[in-house]
Amino acid sequence: MADGTAEASVSRLPTEADRTSTTRTLGDRIEALPNALRVGVMLFFWLAVWYGVVELFAVSKDFLPNPIDVISRIVRLAWEPVGAGPLLTHAWASIVRLLWGFGAAIVIGVPLGLAMAYFRPLQWIVAPLFELFRYIPPIAWAPFAMFWFGAGSSAQAYVIFTSSFAPILINSFRGVQLVDSRLIDAARTLGAKSWTILFEVALPAALPHVVTGLRIGLATGWMALIAAEIVAGTGSRDGLGYLILQGQQQLHADLTIGAMVLIGILGSLIDLAIRAVEGRFAYWRS
């Protein structure tokens, strides 16, 4: 019955009758759900599939624990310490590293990107160096960072810096480059001199691009962080990457998978937060 309806609407253009039709397929019902609820339902569906596969084939816990094991491991992690402390200690350690590396990338990348677009000679000076460095993957910096900073938070923050820096710089640079030259002409004919044009025209016009650069930089920084925590192993025995490694070394697959899930959740929360901020900076766009 449901299949027949779907086929009919594929073979001809939808009519008014289709739209007002009272026959609703399961697909229609899921589509009609609020976004968050739909995501929740589908996540539950996949967890059920995972559980079913593990139980059906009686997979060993060391090979693939079922989702209930993983979730209960995450819950236990809230108070049961691994290494330096429980869950919050590790999440906090990772976020602090991220903020250091990301913060340094903002402080250097944004002004440099803006200045490169505004003062052409600077572009000639910096661009070749930048073109060379941008193809070195962030994780390739990790061993080098350990020469400089030793294994630990500083080395990891440095790796994050190398991955956040490029998108932040490029987007800031492009933001100023893409400013409509008519707006600058208009400002000049209204009597604006170069500093006024920089602060009142070029910067506001570039701001949405800058914020986009920050969003990409934060996402790539988060990826690099976990890699850095695994490669540039820490003496402080903390961070979400450390949890993954611990799970592997102690043959606790539930801990490794649990940490991975946490990384995914935290990463998407960070992205949600920065998207909200991004919207506020682009209020004047359509």
Would you count residue 205 as binding another protein (CB under 8 A)? yes
In whole angstroms, how close is the CB of 106 to another protein at the nearest point? Answer: 21
CB 224 to another protein: min, Å: 33
- Residue 284 touches another protein, criterion: CB under 8 A: yes
Out of 121, 128, 191, 235, name the contact with another protein by CB under 8 A: 191
Residue 76 interacts with another protein (CB under 8 A)? no
Q: Does 280 bind another protein (CB under 8 A)?
A: no
Alpha carbon distance 215, 201 (integer Å): 22
CA dihedral 208, 212, 213, 215 (to 10 degrees): 140
Query: Under the criterion CB under 8 A, does residue 190 sit at the interface with another protein?
Result: yes
The nearest distance, CB 170 to another protein, in angstroms, is 22
Q: CB of 105 within 8 A of CB of 138?
A: no
- For another protein, the closer of residues 107 and 178 by Cβ is 178
Query: Which one of the spans 44-52, 97-105, 189-197, 237-245 is the region binding another protein (CB under 8 A)?
Result: 189-197
Among candidates 164, 172, 161, which has minimal Cα distance to 110?
A: 172
Site string (151-180) toward another protein, x via CB under 8 A: -----------------------------x
Contact assessment for residue 231 and residue 244, using Cβ atoms and an 8 Å cutoff = no
Q: Give Cα separations from 193 to 33, 176, 190, 200 (angstroms).
A: 54, 17, 9, 10
Closer by beta carbon to another protein, 57 or else 284: 284
- Integer angstrom CA distances of residue 172 from 110, 166, 177, 221, 240: 6, 10, 9, 17, 30
Question: Which position has the token pair 């079913």?
Answer: 52
What track of x and - describes contact with another protein for positions 30 through 59 (by CB under 8 A)? ------------------------------
Contacts with 109 (C-beta within 8 Å, 6 or more apart), sequence order: 164, 165, 168, 169, 172, 213, 217
Among 71, 187, 216, 223, binds another protein (CB under 8 A): 187
Assess 218 for contact with another protein (CB under 8 A). Answer: no
C-alpha atoms less than 13 angstroms from C-alpha of 57 in its C-beta half-sphere:
12
Phi, psi of 31 (to 5 degrees): -60, -35
To another protein, the closest distance from the beta carbon of 189 in angstroms equals 5
Q: Does 198 bind another protein (CB under 8 A)?
A: no
Question: What's the CA gap between 57 and 54, in Å, rounded?
Answer: 6
Stretch in the footprint of another protein (CB under 8 A) among 31-39, 41-49, 202-210, 225-233: 202-210
CB of 280 to another protein, least distance (A): 12
Query: Residues interacting with another protein, by CB under 8 A?
Result: 180, 182-183, 185-192, 196, 200-201, 204-205, 207, 283-286
